[in-house]
Amino acid sequence: MSAESSLVRFGGEIATGEDGMEVESRGYRSEQRKWVGGRGGAWLREVGPVLWVRQWIRRLELANGSFSGLRSGELRQVENEREPVAGVLVHRELRHSRGELVEYLGFEQLSTHTRYEAGFAGFGGYERSTMTTQIPGGVLMNAGLITSLVVFLLAIDWSLWRNAKLPLEPFYFSRPFLISAALSGFAGWLYIPIADKMKIHQILREEGPRTHSSKKGTPTMGGLFFIPIGIAVASQMSNYKYSWLVSGSILATLAFAGIGLIDDLLSCIKGHNYGLPGWIKFSLQVAVGACFSFWLDSVHTSMPYDMKLSVHLPQPFGLVYLGKYYLALTTFCFASMANGVNLTDGLDGLAGGVAAWAFIGMSIAILAISPDLAVLGASMAGACVGFLFHNRYKASIFMGDTGSLGLGGALATMACCTGMFLPLFISSGVFVMEVLSVICQVLFMKVTRKLFGVRRRIFRMSPIHHHFELCGHKEPVIVASAYFISCILALIAGYIGIIST
């Protein structure tokens, strides 16, 4: 069977292909070209009219040789509840030398998403005059995020150089941020083909939105490369050898990333989305948080003892001493932040971008207390941005629990070592909202089942970003909105941290 006859009819006007098969000729969307990177270059195309797809396949046959491996058995037809006629998914993965070809005919977009690496120069100029070229939403979001972060950090560095009396090096925040971003972005290009070759792929939740079916088979465990890079850059650019707080924070971050790594490995081995049992994962998080709390209580720092176990609040509250209750607050902070980032990691680019702003907000808030920890925050923010080069919509890799738990642990350490819990929960407002949406959903379902015998929901699906998806909002719109909210919250958190010290 030729590649052309493998196309699927999905409604509208019908035309007859060269081999006699009926092929859809009605177009739903204009063709879009998307640059997503890859070895030798990579393209992502969205093609509306299927007759254009036929011409496109003939071009690729000339460029690549043959599609003889395409079989009808590899074609899966899936019915969409809302649009049965359009509910067709074509998923085909072919390997050509050092690259791969993936075809998708999506549910709602009614378009063919094609990613192929080892770029084909002959195809690059395919009917440019007949195409409507658009910049992908993921690229625009990344550009906006990076621009806003860089401008913001340069403004902070200029303010520190001009007004602050702290003996800091020039570009104190910008340097670790940009270095981490560059290294993390480069490491992603090396890691993705290795993860794909080793079959380290994301296992989707069965109860997740149907529109996420196209994400199946995406490499995961991206935290393996960007978490160590953020830590390494911070270690080199801060006096971590002379700071117990930075050393302890690095160990706690690696411990949480290790918990996520175990969970990801078990998920890949078992072939489903449930690696570590929930109670074991939560118990390990609490154990690491408790160990860090006791270590923080016993270690000698440059801060007075009463300041070390105190929470910094704006006036008129000032410095609130908690004593041993500080240890319980620290443990709670670790568990809540780790799970908050983990729950938020459900849309392309969502958790990474929100975490970048949270780190920047915390870095500003704690600068006067621990400049070395502030460098760790800037470096981790840069690592998140470098990861977003590959995790933006449509993502070519996910961070997995390795990345989400590691980011949550790093955020928690910055607050626990300095007493800046209020700026933490403000800058991480999106994470807090995601956790609260899950808690409210579960409690409401249990209460209504007990009172009325029927489970009722507040949201269509939790966490809340899935609720917005099911309400009809597109992924890039949801993620961009979260970025904007996180930017505002980071500014507020930084300001509260400054006036609290």
CB 117 within 8 A of CB 38: yes
Share of the chain above pLDDT 70, in %: 69
The predicted pLDDT at position 244 comes to 80
Is residue 31 domain-shared with residue 175, that is, in the same domain? no
Number of domains in the chain: 2
CB 337 within 8 A of CB 409: yes
CA distances from 303 to 62, 167, 309, 431 (A): 69, 18, 10, 30
Is residue 50 domain-shared with residue 197, that is, in the same domain? no
Residue-wise pLDDT for 210-253, tens only, equals 777 778 888 999 999 999 999 999 998 876 555 788 889 999 99
348: tokens are: 């392309």
Q: How far apart are CA 2 and CA 7, in angstroms?
A: 10
Is residue 117 domain-shared with residue 242, that is, in the same domain? no
Where residue 43 falls (left for φ over 0; alpha for ψ -120 to 50; beta otherwise) is: beta
Q: How far apart are CA 210 and CA 370, in angstroms?
A: 46
Is residue 76 domain-shared with residue 146, that is, in the same domain? no
Is residue 276 domain-shared with residue 384, that is, in the same domain? yes
The predicted pLDDT at position 136 comes to 63
CA distances from 195 to 152, 226, 480 (A): 34, 14, 28
Is residue 19 domain-shared with residue 82, that is, in the same domain? yes
The predicted pLDDT at position 169 comes to 82
Which of 286, 292, 268 lies closest to 401, judged by CA? 268
Is residue 151 domain-shared with residue 248, that is, in the same domain? yes
The predicted pLDDT at position 281 comes to 94
Residues of the chain with pLDDT under 70: 1-137, 164-166, 206-208, 239-242, 300-307
The predicted pLDDT at position 138 comes to 73
Q: How far apart are CA 498 and CA 364, in angstroms?
A: 7
Is residue 87 domain-shared with residue 146, that is, in the same domain? no
Is residue 167 domain-shared with residue 192, that is, in the same domain? yes
The predicted pLDDT at position 340 comes to 96
CA distances from 481 to 27, 340, 466 (A): 31, 18, 14
Q: How far apart are CA 501 and CA 53, in angstroms?
A: 62
Residue-wise pLDDT for 12-54, tens only, equals 333 333 333 333 333 333 333 333 333 333 333 333 334 444 4
The predicted pLDDT at position 271 comes to 78
Is residue 116 domain-shared with residue 181, that is, in the same domain? no
Per DSSP (E only), the strands in 8-98 are: 14-16, 22-24, 32-35, 42-47, 92-96
The predicted pLDDT at position 307 comes to 63
Domain finish residue from 68, 97, 130 = 130
The predicted pLDDT at position 480 comes to 94
496: tokens are: 């509260």
Domain finish residue from 99, 130, 161 = 130
The predicted pLDDT at position 441 comes to 95
The predicted pLDDT at position 336 comes to 95
Is residue 103 domain-shared with residue 177, that is, in the same domain? no
For residue 65, the enclosing domain spans: 4-130
Number of Cβ within 10 Å of residue 53's Cβ equals 25
Domain finish residue from 104, 130, 156 = 130
CB 27 within 8 A of CB 52: yes
The predicted pLDDT at position 128 comes to 34
Is residue 102 domain-shared with residue 225, that is, in the same domain? no
